[in-house]
Amino acid sequence: MRLLYIGIAIASLFSSCSKNTEKENEFPEQLSFSLDTVYVDPGDEILYLQDKLYLSDLSADKSYLINFNRKDLIAERINLDELKLEKLIPFEKEGPNGTPTYFSRFSLNDEEQLLIWSYQFYSIFDQNAKKIKDLGLEKIAADYLSGSDFYPLMLFEDPEQPERVLGVFISWKDRAYFILDFDLKDKLFQKTGLPEMDKLQEYNTDILMDGQAMGSYGVAVHSIAINGKIILTNNSFNEVVIYDTNRDSTYVKSWDTPLLGTRKNYTPPKQVDYSSGQREEVVRDSMEEINYGYLVWDETQKRFYRFSITQQFGEDKDEYGQYIATGTDVYLTIFDENLNILAESLVPQLAAPPNKHFVKDGKIWLFANMEDEMAFVQLAIE
């Protein structure tokens, strides 16, 4: 992901922390779709599919994708035009070019470099796995990033200001979201809170074992950056929180639609015991209601796409004690560049939650593991 020149042109009349809710009814509720499946030729290699391309990113021109194998610290460069593995890029665990074994995320910037981040680690690598720059964010904002109390969800480089980096973070203690805006040249930063996202705590459940906290189950938050705006989505509210990087202001845009409503109705308990079986029930009950997906941008048509799902479950469980889904309803919402809804429809051709997906050549590409082969289902809107 990166801050793009093209894209969203939100009207500037919104003031900081304002909210705009739209009752969306005047759009088609049934679209026509077609599917095609393409396979990636791995050559003599075995591609890493265990993470379902969770740790991957696209080049700016969508010609290739880099899929990161965190297990072996190897990056796979996949040519999306020719649908083949181009090369493997082995990274180092130690030394001057070392990376954390399990880092948080990475992104490809416009110079085709990898920006990799994790706790106390914020560095840029070339595609020969050589570290070319240590951003040192943990030193600039030591009060926030020198330990592990604040987690880096996403980082964005500003193409118009090379010495500027913005990051979306969460505080584990109070689950508060905020943005840090870094000036790498002068070693300064500015923090902007996101109080609009405090309500996400309604959907968080702490998981305890013998009275001790061992994790939580809660809201998934995603963010993208388009034309000076960082847009944050979550899976529980039919809305986005938009941070204007030029004005240092935030506002909310939300929707109420016949198919997807305004929010998830189910509110889970605040705490469950790990051994009680309640955790599995919380996951099931949450997934039976609407789960809003993240936005992907189509720079050709100047549109956003978002999948959302509901699932159905029986009484059977898998080997890990999780309820087994018996069916999935997948919905697609299409937005214009100002995040007004153009269409929203059930996609009957999709019967499982969408994995990693992106827009290329006028189609939505969805990753699929086809008998341990990397494949993409190409969804065309007719």
Rounded average pLDDT over 242-260? 95
Q: What is the pLDDT of residue 21?
A: 59
Number of H helices, E strands in the chain: 3, 28
Which residue, among 363, 365, 366, 341, has the nearest Cα to 353 in the 3D structure?
A: 366
Q: Confidence class of residue 24 from pLDDT cuts 50, 70 and 90?
A: low
327/184 Cα distance (integer angstroms): 49
Q: What is the pLDDT of residue 343?
A: 96
Residue 11 has pLDDT above 70, yes or no: no
Residue 298 has pLDDT above 80, yes or no: yes
Q: What is the pLDDT of residue 268?
A: 95
Q: Are 262 and 238 in contact (CB under 8 A)?
A: yes
Q: What is the pLDDT of residue 30?
A: 80
CA atoms within 13 A on the CB side of 22: 16
pTM of the model: 0.91
Residue 6 has pLDDT above 60, yes or no: no
pLDDT digits (tens, 9 = 90+) for 348-357: 999 999 999 9
Q: Confidence class of residue 366 from pLDDT cuts 50, 70 and 90?
A: very high
In the chain, which ranges are continuous DSSP H helix? 137-140, 142-145, 278-288
Q: Are 78 and 66 in contact (CB under 8 A)?
A: yes
100/118 Cα distance (integer angstroms): 8
Q: Are 242 and 10 in contact (CB under 8 A)?
A: yes
Rounded average pLDDT over 14-32? 58
- On the 0-12 / 13-18 / 19+ scale of CB atoms within 10 A, 332 is buried
pLDDT digits (tens, 9 = 90+) for 49-63: 999 999 999 999 999
Q: Are 259 and 331 in contact (CB under 8 A)?
A: yes
**AA letter at 282:** V
Alpha-carbon radius of gyration of the chain: 21
Q: What is the pLDDT of residue 22?
A: 57
141/155 Cα distance (integer angstroms): 14
Neighbours of 220 (CB within 10 A): 14
pLDDT digits (tens, 9 = 90+) for 80-134: 999 999 999 999 999 999 999 889 999 999 999 999 999 999 999 999 999 999 9
**AA letter at 229:** K
323/320 Cα distance (integer angstroms): 9
Residue 303 has pLDDT above 80, yes or no: yes
Which residue, among 150, 252, 133, has the nearest Cα to 191 in the 3D structure?
A: 150
Q: What is the pLDDT of residue 130?
A: 98
Rounded average pLDDT over 35-45? 98
Rounded average pLDDT over 67-80? 96
- Structural tokens at position 307: 């999948």
Q: Confidence class of residue 23 from pLDDT cuts 50, 70 and 90?
A: low
- Structural tokens at position 369: 């593991």
Q: Confidence class of residue 28 from pLDDT cuts 50, 70 and 90?
A: low
Q: What is the pLDDT of residue 315?
A: 95
Instruction: Kindly provide the b/e burial profile for residues 49-88, where b requires at least 16 CB atoms within 10 angstroms of the residue's own CB.
Output: beeebebbbbeeebebbbbbbbeebbbbebebeeeebeee
Residue 19 has pLDDT above 90, yes or no: no
Mean pLDDT of the chain: 92
Going by the DSSP 8-state scheme, the letter that residue 172 receives in this structure is T
Q: Confidence class of residue 8 from pLDDT cuts 50, 70 and 90?
A: very low
Among 5-9, 160-164, 187-191, 304-308, the range scoring the smallest mean pLDDT is 5-9
Q: What is the pLDDT of residue 290?
A: 97
Report how far apart, in Å, the C-alpha atoms of 380 and of each of 22, 33, 35, 162 are. Answer: 27, 6, 6, 37
Q: Is 113 helix (H, G, I), strand (E, B) or coil?
A: coil
Q: What is the pLDDT of residue 292?
A: 98
Q: What is the pLDDT of residue 111?
A: 95
Domains recognised in the chain with CATH numbers? 18-381 (2.120.10.30)
Q: Confidence class of residue 227 from pLDDT cuts 50, 70 and 90?
A: confident
Q: Are 197 and 223 in contact (CB under 8 A)?
A: no
Rounded average pLDDT over 221-232? 96
**AA letter at 330:** V
370/13 Cα distance (integer angstroms): 48
Among 64-68, 85-89, 276-280, the range scoring the smallest mean pLDDT is 276-280
